[in-house]
Structures are given as C-alpha cells and as structure tokens.
Chain A
Amino acid sequence: MELLNALALLGNFLIVPGITYGCQLALGALGITLIYGILRFSNFAHGETMAFGTMTVILVTWALQGAGVSFGPLPTALLALPFGIAATVALVLVTDRYVYRFYRTQRSTPVIYLIASIGVMFLYNGLIRFVIGPGDQNFSDGERFIIRAREFKQMTGLDEGLAIRTTQGITVVVTVILVIALFWFLNRTRAGKSMRAYSDNEDLALLSGIDPNRVVMIAWILTAALATIAGTLYGLDKSFKPFTYLQILLPIFAAAIVGGLGSPVGAIAGGFVIAFSETAVTFAYRKVFGYMGYETDSLMQLLSTDYKFAVSFAILVIVLLVRPTGLFAGKSF
C-alpha cells in the first residue's frame, strides 16, 4: 500500500508532468532539427515562432468564444489551431523570403544565419509584445480534468491522488498523431524523401533534380505548424506569457542536440530525456521517502526549481563532452 502511494505520488508530480513536458519539448525540438537539417543553422527565433503561433491561436480563440462557438469538453483553442498555423506559416515564409533567402544565394556561413535569426527573434518579440502585450494570458476552457485526484482516491482507496488534466491528455494524443504523420511524410511521400535526400547530401540532391526552394519551403511550413502546435499545447498546459517562450529555447536546443541535430527521432528522444531529468532533479522526494519508511525534515530535493535550466545545460555539456553527435548521430561538425 505504502509503495503504491509512493508510486501514485511520483506519477502525479513526476511522470505525468514529465511526459507532457517531454511531448512539448519534442515538438519544439523537431522544429529546430528540421530547420537545421535543411537550412543548416540553429534557429534562435524558434521560441518566438512558437509564441507568435500561440498568440494568433489565442486571438482566434477569443473571437470564437465571443461568437459563442465551443468545442464541448475540449478547449476551443484546438479549433483555432488551423488559423494559427496558417498565420505562422505566412509569417515564416515572408521572413524566409526577405531575410534568409539572401544569405542562401550568398552561400553564407551558418554563423551569419544565426545572427540573422537573432534579429528575427527581436522582430517577432517586439511584434508579439506590441499586439498582445507582455502579460499572462489564460485561454484554456472546456473540461479541466480527465481524472480528478479525488476520484482517483475513491477508485483505488489510496491516500495519494493521481490527477490527469485534459490539457495533458490532449498534449500526448496530439503529439503521437503529429509524430506518426511526420514520419509517414518523411519516409513515405515523395516530398518527404526529397527532404531527407537534401538533408543528407545537398549537392547530390540538386543533381538528381530536387528543387531546393521547394524543399526549403516545405521545411518552413512543417516547422511553423510544429511550432504553433507545440506553443499552443505549452500555453494551454501552463499559461501564455511571451517571456517563457524565450526561456524555453534553451531546453529545446538541449533536446535537439542531445538527440543529435538534424535527426527527427533524436529530437523526440532528446525532448523526453531533458524533460524527465528536469522534473526528476528538481522534484522534492521527501513524501516519497516518507512512504518508503524514511522520515526526514529535508526536502530531499537535488536542486531548487530556480535552477531547472541548469539541468538541461548540464546534460548538454555532458553530451558535448562525451558524444558531440548526440544520441542518434546527427551532424556535429
């Protein structure tokens, strides 16, 4: 019984949030890794792209709510997603046309792209703050829980509750669907195969008649869609605040590098590695140890939550030291 209580406690505060956060990071890291594979630079504006997508979703959600549309027990934001994706796709394509394309024709080094992406990050950042302001926005509606802590306790007779919020369930379901769709696209369709070929060997791909502009465009469209969905899920789960999307950049990069830059499978694995390490290291284990028969005054917490970036950073450093290509052998040079 005590053991089950400890497990329920871990499930509620560590495993369920870990899986949810892992899904969000994985979707974010997929966007980074796709751009890296095709355009060969680390896109610092990715966090802001997520924030922009989420912002348009929020605005459309408000409009829908105002018009009295709702999605039953599910958040209205899911209905607004297509609009958000469309707006974000338009934004990144315009950005690519007026910022990155020039450097592509110049065949600039990745560092120049990186600086340009920092400039883009500022533009987006200013745009977002200009439209929706720097404050907190809560746009989640519909049913809040799939399983409430109280119901779980009654069901199992345990002292510890295991709650699953709707947003957590949606995050997992949406991520699974997206990942399956993405891999089907990359492995089975002609466009997806041409993307992989382009990522593996640009010159060879050009010789076999693949249109680079088309590949780049598809990469941006996929990235914008992934970013909008990842940002919206994150915003539904926590809340929307422009600043947090700047901060999430570090764990997302860490996830992409840990998995191996340029490798989609790696990005997903990396997302979960980072998410679980972050939650596990900053979790206070006192009650768990209590159930295991070890009472203590100490919180039994390895690091305070203020240092959660330090966890992703530490993992990043270890990967750079031990295996710079990442778990799934991306490109390190």
Chain B
Amino acid sequence: MGWRGVGLFALMFGLLALVGVVQSWPLAFTILNLCLISAILSLGVNIQWGYAGLLNVGVMGFVALGGMAGIVVSMPPVTEAVRAGGGGILLAILVALGTAALAWWLSGRVSGGLRVAVVAVVLLAGAFLARGIFDPAVEAIESVDPARTGYLGGFGLPVLLAWIVGGMLAAGAAFLIGKVSLGLRSDYLAIATLGISEIIIAMLKNEDWLTRGVKNVTGIPRPVPYEVDLQAEPWLIDIAERYGLSVVEAASVAVKLCYAGLFLAVLLIVLWLSERALKSPWGRMMRAIRDNEVAAEAMGKDVTARHLQVFVLGSAVLGVAGAMLTTLDGQFTPGSYQPLRFTFLIWVMVIVGGSGNNYGAVLGGFVVWFFWVEAEPIGLWLMDLLTSGLNEESALRAHLLESAAHMRLMTMGAILLLVLRFAPKGLIPERSGASR
C-alpha cells in the first residue's frame, strides 16, 4: 500500500475520531459501520471495474437482492401463510421453470420457420398456466393478517447465514445478466445492468408475498446483543462510569462496536481474497484482458468467460454487503433503494479511491461515505453563511436553503468528472507492473 496509503488511512481515522469528539461517539461509530460496508461495496465494484473494466450500472439491484436474503433467511416463517399459499407459489415456480426448460429443449429440436411459433406458443401457455396457479396463492398469502404479516416470512435461520445467501442470490442474477450481455459491446452490459436493477427494485416493491413490498419488514433478528439488555449489565455500567459516558451512550457504542467487529472481519476476508486474486496468475490475466482484449484473446484467453467469472464474483461481494446492510438496519425497506445512493455513490468511491487498487477502493469507500454524511451539515452551514447577507424573508434565500439538499447530486457529479479528468488514477493509484 505504501506510505501514502498509510498516511491517508491514518488521516481518515483521525477525522472519524474528530467526529467522535466534536459531535458524538455513537455517531462516529454509526459512520464507521457504514464506512466498512461501503468499503466492501466498493471492493465489489473494483473487482468488476478495476480488474476487468466492466461497467455495472445496476449495483443497486445486486445490493437489494442481497438485502432481501436478510428477510428470507432470518425472519420466522408465517406458518399460516405458508400453509395457505406456499405450495401454490412453489408449484407456479416449478411450472415456470418447466416451461422455460421445455421451450429451450424445443428450440433445439424444431427447425425452420416453425421454431419461433412453437417456442412462443409454449412460453405463452406456460405463462398463463403459471399465472393461474400463482395469483390465487399470492392472494391467499397476502390476506393472512396483512397489517402485520401478509407474506411468507423466512426460514428463521441465523442472520449471518443471510450474508452468504445474499452473495449467492446476487451471483445468480449476475450470471444470467452476464450470460446475455457480455461478449457484446461494453455499453450493452451497462444498459442491461441498469435495466435489471430497476426490475429487481420493482419486484421487491410489488411482490408483497415475498417482501411485504412497501410495507417493509422490520425487526430482523440481530447477530449482536440489544442495547436494552446491555444497559442492565454491571460491566457496561462500570465502563460507562470510568469513561464518563452515560449508560445509554455506552450501550449504543458497545452494540456498534460489535457490528464493527463483524463487518471488519468480512472486509478483511474480502480484501485478503481480492489481493491474493489480484497477485495471482489469474489477476495478471484479468489485467491483461482489461488492457488489451485483442492481444489476450490472441494468447488463447477466453475473454467472455473470464468477464463472466469476474462479473459474478464482484456481484457476489455486492450481495454480501447488501445483506450486511439490512442486518445493520434491522429492517428491509425496498422504497429506500435509490440509484444515486446505491449505484453511483459506489462508483464515485471506486474512482476517487483508485480503480484497480483494492486498498484504494477501501479508502474511497471510507472517504466518500464520510463526506456524503457530513456534506449535509457542512453544506447547510455554507449556504447559511453565503446567504447571510440577504434579507431573512428573502425568497431567494429560502429557495437556496431549501435546495441545499440537491447540491449533493451536483457535488457527486462534479467530483466524478473532476477526478476522472484530472486524477484518473485516484487517491491510491494502481501499482504498475514494475513496482509490483
């Protein structure tokens, strides 16, 4: 990583400590936790963009899919709903899969002009049949106590398992998308991922039987103790007294520290694996493909297959981070997934940090998230200062203060453009072949 990287990381932790002293310690740890998750997200995008030059404009979709794993794995099952419609849903899914398989099989057997017609008929009939089974099942599930449940629930397993499942779900979606759009123009992957992420979000918002849709799922079981229980622990009260914190504050910090420990462990594992991969012959091959596809292909490398591989791996990391995010929030809210926050912000992290360098990506995650959170107080303060010359009742001043929130969009756009143009290597540049 070099001295430059160490210095930048030290500066970053200094800033976090400053927030702890100036604002409050629980806030500092909240920011730290999200910095850790952002760093993992940023690593995921770096694997796709930095290693292989693949442009994923649908990061949000993979994160949300991972988040969904949080409820599917860890929420207790709603037995009544499962009894009412679980079988129907399963059957409908089987019919849909069967239809797809049949269509695929037929498309290989039937030849000539008849092929399109036969496949279309099979698909249409299968779709109607599946819908016929699916719709009543959904209705049955959603009518089971809609105010509190109205969905199938999950498997009631430990939430940490969701992190793995989330990664697998995202990887599955990435495989399908990659299979279709890789090997064509690089723009096609960008547009296809943009599309799939919109569809995933639409599905999570509307399929109430699975995710309760916009009614949200709250109270996802935690992997760490609850504040209320901690506040009664004598050792915590002891520590609180020693450091002059209130018991409530100390309990909140303790819970956040537990999360931070878990997230840090995941971050270190992903970082270690990524570094190992990057330094291995596989990593060299990936960079070779990125830098000159034609030459790599001439050397006998299967570019499309390698791209697919790296795209799936990166998306899996995004899915894991998505599940971690739901775990931290303790709830799943499909309405909160915005492309700005979950796709483009991650992009800015990677590009600012240094595309192709894992430590750079991690640092980018920390720095950009930190300023994303702190930009609002700073921006508001700045706007207030700039407009202080204007009259208190001035309409212009009110408009400017009100619009301060939109400044985030512009700032992100400007940062992206400026870094891309003037410092395309980022804060911690990728090491070139000679110094590696």
Contacts and interface: CB of A to CB of B under 8 A. Distances in A.
A145 interface: no
A222 B339 CA distance: 29
B231 interface: no
Contacts of A90: none
A173 interface: no
Interface in A286-333: 298, 302, 304, 306-307, 309-310, 312-313, 316-317, 320-321, 324, 331-333
B190 interface: yes
B417 A116 contact: yes
Interface string B329-365: 0000000000110001001000100000000000000
Given A115-B55, A122-B412, A306 B205 contact: yes
Contacts of B219: none
A81 interface: no
A309 B184 contact: no
Given A119-B420, A122-B409, A123-B414, A110 B351 contact: no
Nearest to A246: B339
Interface stretch (B73-81, B196-204, B238-246, B306-314): B196-204
Contacts of B403: 129-130, 133
B55 A111 contact: yes
B180 interface: yes
B413 A129 contact: no
B143 interface: no
Given A250-B194, A320-B181, A110 B413 contact: no
B280 interface: no
Interface residues of A, number: 51
Interface in A241-270: 246-247, 249-250, 253-254, 257, 261
Residue of B205, B412, B420 with highest tally of chain A CB at under 10 A: B420
B18 interface: no
B347 A129 contact: no
Contacts of A332: 184-185, 188
A118 interface: yes
B410 A312 contact: no
A126 interface: yes
B53 A111 contact: yes
B277 interface: no
A280 interface: no
Contacts of A116: 417, 420
Interface string B28-62: 00000000000000000000000001010100000
Contacts of A331: 185
15 contacts: A110-B187, A114-B55, A119-B420, A122-B410, A122-B414, A123-B413, A126-B409, A126-B410, A253-B191, A257-B188, A298-B135, A309-B199, A313-B199, A317-B180, A332-B185
Q: Which 10 A-B pairs give the minimum distances between C-beta atoms?
A: A122-B413, A126-B410, A126-B409, A119-B416, A313-B195, A123-B413, A119-B417, A129-B406, A42-B187, A306-B206
